[in-house]
Structure 1
Amino acid sequence: MAYDLKKEDEVKDYIENIGIEYRFGCYKEQKPEVCHLLADYLEAIKKDFEKAAKVYKSNCLEYKFGKSCLKIGNYTLIGRGREKGDPAEALIYFEKGCELNDPGACLHAGMLLTATGPGVNIQRDVPKGYNCLKKSCDQNDDMACHYLSGMYLTGVPKNVQDFNPHNPEKNKNIDYLIKPDKKEAFRFAKRACELGNMFACANVSLMYKKGDGVEKNQDESKRFFEIAQSLQKAHETTKEIKFQQGLDGK
């Protein structure tokens, strides 16, 4: 049946039929991809976050669909579709998604496992978190590569309380889980930049300028600065277009 999407009643019928098709594909045909679409439909169209959460969770644990693990992880982290957030439970879903090779789930798992500070109720496990971030970066997630670059730039102290960002000389005498390594920091920053991370491009520019982890090169510094500016403008343009079109990014 062809729908006239200029007519409100036909738009409503079209939307309802999409929901019926997704339910059939998920519950009857048991297709994980369609179950994820059903959850997206419940989230974006119906605004029923509780039901969406149930579908994402089931699709993650029963059908082993990595993208759904990422979504239910995010829901659990921020408390969407439930009373309150639970980072420790969210980590379970992120780790499951990472096992299923979803780069976003690996990124979130890695960040939670290496996080410190008030309100963090997760046992810090930097080696495990590093492996999650590395897996995500290897799957071309720009934020994971950027995060790894930062870890190598400052190092990851065994005891966070011993680290003083304003006293580099004192930091030389503390124990590190990951020692500062400017060359590795540059390598991951450049990879993140290649994947379109404007902050990483700005860091690469600065590292070329200062000779951190790479030989000084003013021409390359200028080139990467221009790349960072170009990516920033593209990002601002995209945000403006989304605003004008009424789009709500996930």
Structure 2
Amino acid sequence: MKRMFMLFALCVFFCNSYAKDYFKLGFEAYENLDFYQASKYFKKGCDLGQEAACYGLGDLYHKGLGVPQSYAQSIKYHKKACELGHKNSCFNLGALFSNGDGVQRSYVQALKYHKKACELGDNEACNNVALIYANGLGVLQNYDQALKYLEKACKFGHEKACKFFSDL
């Protein structure tokens, strides 16, 4: 039993190490404008559970760089990255649902993903949650919740939120 646990621990360590290498390789390919190769590396890293690689792949599908443009694939990989804790992917999902880019506009879904990004420290996402509550977009208008998230946005460094919050 102890031996099996040790093998599992080693696998987790090495799998994560390989995933980080794939992300790094993908990022280098991206910087060199070799988007096809970046997509291959990001896919391998994402398959190993590396959230930044999933984010990169979602971004490539969103923009159609190195892969066919596909909102469905972009959403798939951004959702995986978000579930793994990548705040930019959570924010991007919130934006896609807010704007109806490649999906049916849904402020309920936008709120869900912006809240998650806010919990992960994204100040713009916190501000977006405040706006959704303040304007009653897909939810009942709730100024208390709007102020709560506006304060979080300020705490995370959103200058306009801080200005607005201080003027109250």
| TM-score, with structure 1 as normaliser | 0.55
Q: Percent identity?
A: 28
Is the contact made by 2:37 and 2:66 (CA closer than 8 Å) also made in structure 1? no
- Of 191, 210, 219, 2:116 maps to 191
Give 1:7-22 correspondences, 5 Å limit: none
Counterpart for residue 71 of structure 1: 24
| CA–CA separation in structure 2 for the residues paired with 1:214 and 1:194 | 19
Distance 1:215 1:32, change over 3 A: closer
Is the contact made by 1:95 and 1:109 (CA closer than 8 Å) also made in structure 2? yes
Counterpart for residue 144 of structure 2: 219
Q: Quick check: 1:209 aligned with 2:134? A: yes
Distance 1:106 1:127, change over 3 A: same
Q: Quick check: 1:146 aligned with 2:91? A: yes
Is the contact made by 1:32 and 1:65 (CA closer than 8 Å) also made in structure 2? no
Distance 1:223 1:64, change over 3 A: closer
Gaps of 5+ in 1: 1-30, 35-59, 80-84, 158-177, 234-250
Deviation for aligned residue 1:115:
1.3
| TM-score, with structure 2 as normaliser | 0.80
Q: Which has the higher contact order (CA 8 A, sep 6+)?
A: 2
Distance 1:103 1:197, change over 3 A: same
Counterpart for residue 166 of structure 1: none
Counterpart residue type for residue 111 of structure 1: D
| CA–CA separation in structure 1 for the residues paired with 2:150 and 2:49 | 33
Counterpart for residue 101 of structure 1: 49
Ranges of 4+ aligned residues in structure 1 off by more than 4 Å: 31-34
Is the contact made by 1:186 and 1:212 (CA closer than 8 Å) also made in structure 2? no
Larger radius of gyration: 1
Gaps of 5+ in 2: 1-10, 159-168
- Of 112, 123, 132, 2:77 maps to 132
Deviation for aligned residue 1:219:
1.4
| CA–CA separation in structure 1 for the residues paired with 2:66 and 2:29 | 14
For 1:179, what is the secondary structure of its paired residue? coil
Is the contact made by 2:134 and 2:142 (CA closer than 8 Å) also made in structure 1? yes
Deviation for aligned residue 1:121:
4.7
Give 1:44-123 correspondences, 5 Å limit: 65-79=18-32, 85-115=33-63, 120-123=65-68
- Of 175, 182, 189, 2:107 maps to 182
Deviation per CA, 1:83-137, whole angstroms, max 9, x where unpaired? xx21121111011100000000001101111115xxx453112222211111111
Deviation for aligned residue 1:32:
10
